[in-house]
A and B are shown apart, each in its own frame.
Chain A
Amino acid sequence: MNFELTEERRMLQDSLRRFLADKYTTQVRNQILDSTAGLSATIWSQMADLGVIGALLGEDKGGFGGTGFDITTVFEELGRAGVVEPFLDTAILGAGLIAELGTDDHAGILEDVMAGSVHLAFAHGEPTSRYDLNIVATTAQNRGDHYVLNGRKSVVVNAEAADHLVVSARTSGDVDDQNGILLFLVPSDADGLELNGYPLISGGRAAEIVMDGLVLPQDALLGSEGNGFDAIEKCVAMANVALIAEALGAMETAARLTLDYLGTRTQFGRPIGSFQVLAHRMADVFIELKQARSAVILAAGHLEADRVTRERHVSAAKHLIGRVGKLVAEESIQMHGGIAMTQEYELAHIAKRIVMIDHRFGDTDHHLERFIALGADQLAGRSGTAATTA
């Protein structure tokens, strides 16, 4: 057994942690949160130069990482610093899907992504799909030399900043059919694509998207007809691993801030940490954090496993992190008292990020049900499909 990071990953972790501690101060973050862009272009390009995006893509795609532990190394640091920049959307989801399904023609986009000059977004969720990856009502009609898309996408994170969107649509099947889902690479300024953008509670921005007779050339199709779902599930698994690592980093920050506060805030003539009720609750937070780290390691280590094993570990971890995240966020706020309720204090932002991670790609309940369903599949020796809708 060896739970140490490799030398390269440790260096990446160190440099990223140092960079963020230095550059991503509470004041800078609050400015970014207040800005209408919802992200800092300067920070983005500096982090791209640091190799952050390259570390998220495999060597065959021109990157130098891309495994589960590369992803968790990066995202834990992003979470620790409360970074709102959309690395998940551009590098894991957008670039991940292009890397998965694209051809040599797309190598240029991936290079630009790694250089920090191109932004991406994944337009998949729809007003009624909730967390189910197989529900796609958006239609794509194949008209020989082109496709026509019609439908609506909801809460598409980073849509406004994106140069290209990866959009899902179906050519066949019922609305919840896994088969028949396709992915398209769509320039964000395409005619027939309407964006309605807004800020998110935990920072960053998203948009509602309406596609009304959006015409796409044949070569906008990523991969071939019919293999969309597998790629989506795989990339969303990576995204969930990124999210749980981010939550872990954010929870450690919340715990650190709370611990500091317990030692410095005095009431009744003594530090509040000397009240045993708070000390014990802090101890519980640390116990749960240990468990959370294990869950992240376990999921990261199974990203390359067969489908059911992979998905089961991902759901297990997302469930556990959802539960622990709520505990850590709520306990941190409570133990801080009123100060935690203030917008400008770092904890408020960190707590919101932790809680809202539960609302991306499945909350703690969704993944509990999915874990159960996948377990049933595994027992029955199916690599089957039932579990995807839980």
Chain B
Amino acid sequence: MDKRGYFSGFGGCFIPEILNETFEELVKAYEAAKADPAFWQEYIDVMSNYSCRPTPLTFAENLTNHFGGARIYIKREDLNHTGAHKANNVMGQGLLVKRMGKKRVIAETGAGQHGVATATMAARMGFECTIYMGEEDVERQRPNVFWMERLGATVVPVTDGSRTLKDAINEAFRDWVSNMDTTHYVLGTACGPHPFPEMVAWFQSIIGIEARKQILEHEGRLPKSVYACVGGGSNAMGLFSGFMDDPVELVGVEAGGKGLDSGKHAARLSSKDASVGVAQGYKTYFLQDHDGQMKDTHSISAGLDYVGVSPILAHLQAIGRARFEAATDAEVLEAVTLTMRKEGLIPALESSHAFAQAFKEAPSLSKDDIVIINQSGRGDKDIFTVADAFNDPAWKEFIKHKAEQYDA
């Protein structure tokens, strides 16, 4: 029996027997789509007509001047429909679901962006939709829950375990093993059993393909480095894919939370706290204890608060092709503040990790160097978290007033 979907020993397909036929079907559908140029063209057409692609590559002149080092460009995945790179993956999987003839989609979500994107895709394509979301994330990301429900999805708060993304993934798998005949699980990042890491990376590669073409148009040369935040790793895989064969440094930035020495972070590739394990259907670095039990993770951004990481990114680190760093919650808040003030952009807290790391490094680079930061999503979804972090008095007053109106 053949092993499949390995990258330097990371990846694989560790699934219960009941899902074997479902994965066989998915692998066949994915491989057939990949071999069919008409499928990719259909995907490009949908993304162009429905999701604002190609997204711009914005020159950040003020930030460049502020730091006085490398020329800073920002890939604007926040301008995708629904406000994040997540749209790329869900629309691609939606087209596959149509080819497979299934009628229902399920998904997990952390920050809520993947859930909103999936609910949007389901509404457009006419699928029934259920979204699993950790109860703690439901609390943190209520506006996204509101939109998912308005879009027609059923949102199921998951009360097991740490009540975050990993628990939502487990619950989605439990749904899938009961309903696989009619249902496709739209896994949201480049993790999970084969073919998900490879397939999600393929759909997200549209980011890097565009960014490479755009930087050559703008500057006539390639960047020195590209920066992307890493939760599961799908936006990083997307940006990196465009520069894999170039002499361009690939930098992934994980959630440093309260600091790598604090134990309260989600840094799997950039800390010593993670080790190789097998969970949620694949082999990669997990934040786990001596026995192999998954640990609780922490990040100010719900979307990076995940216990595993893409096996393809683990592979890129193993072969020395990518470098992984961590940005703390405090550094991220500084970065989002500076980006708002200097450029009028509001990156998601997830994306702001990439900004924070690029800001650390840009000043020491030459003025001839170019860096690209992936703004994977927009930050308006984080308004409650950011307002709390800054202890914003006017915002608190507004919320109190609104609550009083509801009670009246």
Query: Real complex partners, A and B?
Result: no
